[in-house]
């Protein structure tokens, strides 16, 4: 996932800062805080943050790399990211300069992250068993009743009510390998 | 005597835990690990852990994590609404707000108690099911003594049986795109809640 603000075209080709995270288990919370921090502290400045997710499921997020990558016109901006608990840039302790990472490398990671994001919903069609990955219905499972272009209509059969959710198929994880007898809205492997 | 300063600088003195307290803590933890059902049914030891008036959700967590099939079987004996709360909370780690929204418990007109109250009621009801080896028969609902509290909770819980909410249509506003703006009002929905309060969330974050 790529989170951005401002005129990001001005950042093309520029290097990135690697951002360490204290806990992979808290990673989503940390990324959200960095995004909020950017909106608040950097104002209109162009900003990009790559959250390279390999896999998402009930147990959380698995990253493609141990770091997040962020960039602005001046990487020293990231020294302030320490205001976000659990996140800090990789920097030289003597010079206090943020260490830059080549754009080419981060673009490769980004391509893999895009591929992974497309992968978890690949093959979803009518009748597929899926898990909702984002939004208020996250982690609930259901069956795709209908595809409307890039949108899927998912029927989630709770014990006390039925929910019919229309959501982009990219927000779903394809669990069609789950045998029919095990398909419950609370499926947990 | 142990001395510690709490947040506002107040000095607090505590007696250190006795050897008995230490060993009973350890024993209780072992029992939860070995036989969460027994602890829930109050068969193992008479202590805080088996007193149904205390929170026994940790034993339910142990049951859900270590014996998921048994957990599903037992929860399947509870009213449908309680099942939905238990499965979402204990198996999927969904927050109480998310659970309340999907079950239509946010509106006061629903006449339903909040998720946390229903969780407590459900834990007591589950204890009753385990202690009685199945749903207690109506004829047994008038028991006295220690069992009275469990049965009272079970009776209250049974009132929810057969209750079904109307079908819900939800259209997600999410785009599912790889690129998202920091100003996007849906930004928070893309990420996990800050503090998932279900055991899956807790487990994943330990």
Residue B50 has pLDDT above 60, yes or no: no
Query: With contact defined as beta carbons under 8 Å apart, do B105 and B114 qualify?
Result: yes
CA distance A92 to chain B (A): 28
The pLDDT assigned to B75 comes to 94
CA distance B42 to B119: 19
% of chain A with per-residue pLDDT over 70: 100
* A134 in B contact zone (CB under 8 Å): yes
DSSP notation for A40-79: IIITTS-EEEE--EEEEETTEEEESSSSEEEE-SSGGGGG
CB contacts, 8 Å: B172 with chain A: 135, 137, 165-168, 171
Q: Which residue has the higher pLDDT, B194 or B14?
A: B14
CB contacts, 8 Å: A28 with chain B: 191-192
The pLDDT assigned to B8 comes to 61
Give the model's confidence band at B104: pLDDT under 50 very low, under 70 low, under 90 confident, else very high: confident
Residue B206 has pLDDT above 60, yes or no: no
Strand partners, A151: A148, A168
Query: With contact defined as beta carbons under 8 Å apart, do A19 and A65 qualify?
Result: no
CA distance A68 to A81: 12
Average pLDDT of the residues in B37-59: 56
Residue B21 has pLDDT above 60, yes or no: no
CA distance A27 to chain B (A): 9
- Tell me the pLDDT tens digit for each residue of B136-181: 877 666 666 667 878 888 888 888 898 888 889 999 988 888 999 9
Average pLDDT of the residues in A57-71: 91
CA distance A95 to chain B (A): 31
Find, in chain A, the residue whose alpha carbon is nearest to that of B77: A159
pLDDT mean across residues, chain B: 75
CA of A189: how far to CAs of B68, B69, B92, B161, in Å? 10, 12, 11, 28
Residue B18 has pLDDT above 60, yes or no: no
- Tell me the pLDDT tens digit for each residue of B57-80: 778 888 888 888 999 999 999 999
CA distance A72 to A80: 12
- Tell me the pLDDT tens digit for each residue of A81-116: 877 888 999 999 899 999 999 999 999 999 999 999
Query: With contact defined as beta carbons under 8 Å apart, do B123 and B154 qualify?
Result: no
CA distance B75 to B68: 10
Q: Number of C-alpha atoms within 13 angstroms, CB side, residue B69?
A: 1
CA distance B110 to B119: 17
Residue B88, classified by CB atoms within 10 Å of its CB into exposed (0-12), middle (13-18) or buried (19+), is buried
Q: Which of residues 15-54 of A touch B (CB under 8 A)?
A: 23, 25-26, 28-29, 31-32, 35-36, 38-39, 47
Strand partners, B12: B4
Is B168 close to A164, i.e. CB distance below 8 A? Answer: yes
The pLDDT assigned to B191 comes to 82
Find, in chain A, the residue whose alpha carbon is nearest to that of B87: A186
Question: Which residue reads 């497309």 in tokens?
Answer: A118
CA distance A141 to B100: 17
CB contacts, 8 Å: B103 with chain A: 158, 160-161
Minimum mean pLDDT range among A66-70, B32-36, B41-45, B90-94: B41-45
Tell me the Ramachandran region of residue A123: left when phi exceeds 0, alpha when psi lies from -120 to 50, beta otherwise. left
Q: Calculate ∠ Cα A187-B96-A153, nearest 5°.
A: 50
Q: Calculate ∠ Cα B87-B91-B96, nearest 5°.
A: 65
- Tell me the pLDDT tens digit for each residue of B122-133: 998 898 888 888
pLDDT mean across residues, chain A: 93
The token pair at B203 is 């487990």
Give the model's confidence band at B110: pLDDT under 50 very low, under 70 low, under 90 confident, else very high: low
Average pLDDT of the residues in A29-57: 92
* From A3, A166, A186, residue closest to B180, measured CB to CB: A3
Residue B205 has pLDDT above 50, yes or no: no
Residue A189 has pLDDT above 50, yes or no: yes
Residue A61 has pLDDT above 50, yes or no: yes
% of chain B with per-residue pLDDT over 90: 21
């Amino acid at each position: 996932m790529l989170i951005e603000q401002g005129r990001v075209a001005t950042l093309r080709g520029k290097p990135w800062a690697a951002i360490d995270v204290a806990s992979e288990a808290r990673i989503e919370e940390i990324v959200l805080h960095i995004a909020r921090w950017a909106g608040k502290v950097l104002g209109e400045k162009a900003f990009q943050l790559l959250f390279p997710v390999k896999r998402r499921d009930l147990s959380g997020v698995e990253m493609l790399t141990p770091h997040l990558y962020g960039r602005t016109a001046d990487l020293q901006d990231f020294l302030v990211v320490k205001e976000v608990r659990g996140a800090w840039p990789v920097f030289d302790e003597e010079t206090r300069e943020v260490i830059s990472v080549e754009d080419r490398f981060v673009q490769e990671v980004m391509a893999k992250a895009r591929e992974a994001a497309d992968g978890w919903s690949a093959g979803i069609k009518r009748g597929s068993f899926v898990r909702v990955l984002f939004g208020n219905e996250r982690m609930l499972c259901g069956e795709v009743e209908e595809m409307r272009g890039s949108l899927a209509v998912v029927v989630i059969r709770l014990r006390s009510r039925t929910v019919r959710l229309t959501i982009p198929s990219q927000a779903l994880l394809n669990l069609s390998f789950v045998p029919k007898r095990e398909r419950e809205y609370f499926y947990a492997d | 005597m142990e001395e510690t300063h709490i947040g506002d600088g107040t000095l607090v003195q505590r007696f250190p835990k006795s050897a008995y307290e230490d060993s009973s803590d350890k024993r209780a933890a072992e029992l939860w690990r070995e036989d969460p059902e027994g602890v829930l049914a109050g068969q193992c030891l008479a202590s805080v852990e088996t007193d149904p008036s205390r929170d026994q959700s940790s034993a339910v967590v142990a049951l859900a994590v270590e014996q998921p099939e048994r957990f599903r079987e037992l929860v399947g004996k509870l009213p449908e609404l309680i099942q939905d709360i238990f499965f979402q909370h204990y198996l999927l780690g969904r927050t109480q707000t998310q659970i309340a929204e999907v079950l239509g418990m946010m509106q006061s007109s629903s006449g339903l108690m909040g998720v946390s109250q229903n969780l407590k009621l459900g834990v007591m009801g589950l204890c009753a099911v385990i202690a009685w080896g199945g749903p207690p028969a109506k004829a047994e609902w008038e028991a006295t003594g220690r069992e009275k509290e469990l049965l009272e909770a079970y009776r209250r819980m049974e009132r929810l049986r057969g209750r079904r909410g109307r079908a819900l249509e939800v259209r997600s506003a999410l785009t599912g795109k790889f690129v998202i703006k920091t100003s996007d009002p849906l930004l928070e929905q893309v990420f996990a809640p800050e503090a998932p309060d279900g055991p899956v969330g807790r487990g994943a974050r330990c």
